[in-house]
Amino acid sequence: MPEQPRTAAVTAVVAGVPVDTRHWIGGRRVASAGTFTDRSPIDGRALAEVSRGGAAEAGAAVAAAAAAFPGWAATPRAERARLLHAVADGVQQRLEELAQVETADNGALLRSHRRGVMPRVAHNFRFFADRLLTLDHEDFETRGHSNHVSWDPAGPCVLITPWNAPLMLASWKVAPALAAGNTVVLKPAEWSPLTASLLADIAAEAGLPDGVLNVVQGLGDEAGAALVSHPDVRRISFTGSVPTARRIAGAAAANLTPVSLELGGKSPLLVFADADLDLAVDLAVEQYDNAGQVCLAGTRLLVESSIAEEFLRRFAVRAAALTPGDPRDEATDLGPTVHRRQLDRIDGFVRRALDAGARAVVGGGPDEDLGGLHYRPTLLTDVAQDSEIVQEEVFGPVLTLQTFDTEDEAVELANGTRFGLAAVLATGDPERADRVTARLVAGTVWVNCFFVRDLRAPFGGSRHSGIGREGGSWSFDFYCDLKNTVTAPKGGPGHG
């Protein structure tokens, strides 16, 4: 594919920031014959015509990653770490631009991007750069023989990221994959591809060698399918839906390619009568963050019967105080959903639940005053445990409330879905907290708090919420081939 000249046709200006809409392959910009339209969820306007990759672009990107792999894998740890810190510096320097572009692209709050999300992107690169330098396992002996564990780079990695936190979740995968000595092909979601292109620019400016990071844009059934089925790919990491994960796992199985899957959730938020009720209500309302488009959200409120009425009263007051609106406004608490298809999907779940007998005590439909892609924060009661609205991930600002009378009943309800990503527990009894958390099926449990994340901790889900763990050394375990070298003692042959 010939290199294309940089012209207005391949550059979009988003929130005043020029964004190249072509792929980044082998250290150069490459255009496709076709494009797809990327629209802002804020007002529906077209932000960019983005190069629509397919099998040819996927193949070229994997080839570029494979060609760059030997040199990058042989790069000393300290140099790889230095370059990742340089990428973090670039993110920090362009933090406002990244925040503005991502808000325009996916509709999440600008204040969150400025204060939390984009600083976290830089932190992700710094954390894994530093972790690389301390990655070690103590040598040990077996009948006089020494054992030495090492983490060998695996090869080209395909990383497929979602639209709800595009750059942060990309950095959560890209940083450890690169730190481990692998090369990367990043495929961003087609509903929010723009900051991945800016990341390619930042990485190039930081001095990352050509082909070490590649970005291929396009649709999942085209570019994504070609990437995950490529025989030269050594690792696949995906964050997204269960149905897509099944297709990826099937394609990866044909090549025996290891996969890491961070999937959906239907997490419970348990509130016991001994909880600080104001804190519990605050935690529950916090689940509307990012218009409910958060995989970890505790969308199933499980409240002890004796306090349910008072909990509902306080919750309704707090939810009514949320300010919906333009996500670029500092006063806005609740922005739009990401896409018309997503809004319709959310509303479909709610309408079917209402038809089945659920009651909307808060919200219950699109925001008619704001229009567009705004959906009112919603809380549904009178829902059965086996109902669709309780069992399936909505991924919008929709919560359900069920009551329980005993600790056993609370745990049974909490574990009563096919998911196991996270759980939130509100209680004033430390012994109860220990008992309940030990019984919950979840990758992360928060007790009297929510969304406190540390990269030193493992992250991932159980059951249909995923395969594998990321964070800390767990990321390196996935992105590397672990090797144990056994050496005989000096002065004679060894036998196992």
Cα separations in angstroms, 478 against 177, 182, 470, 482: 9, 11, 8, 9
The alpha carbons of the chain give a radius of gyration, in whole angstroms, of 24
Contacts of residues 111-115 at CB distance under 8 Å and 24 or more positions apart, as own/partner, are: 111/330, 111/332, 112/289, 112/290
| Cβ(120)–Cβ(99) below 8 Å | no
Active site residue 190: no
Q: Give the residue among 410, 405, 439, 412 at the shortest CA–CA distance from 426.
A: 410
| Cβ(378)–Cβ(399) below 8 Å | yes
Residues in the chain: 496
Residue 398 neighbours by CB distance under 10 Å? 27
Q: Which of 57, 157, 222, 295 is catalytic?
A: 295
Q: Express the helix, strand and coil content of the chain in percent, nearest 5 each.
A: 40, 20, 35
Task: Write out the DSSP string of 178-226.
Answer: HHTT--EEEE--TTS-HHHHHHHHHHHHHTPPTTSEEE--S-IIIIIHH
At 429, give phi and psi (nearest 5°).
Answer: -110, 105
| Cβ(445)–Cβ(425) below 8 Å | yes
Q: Which of 57, 97, 190, 262 is catalytic?
A: 262
Active site residue 295: yes
> Which residues share a beta bridge with 213?
184
Q: Which residues are catalytic?
A: 262, 295
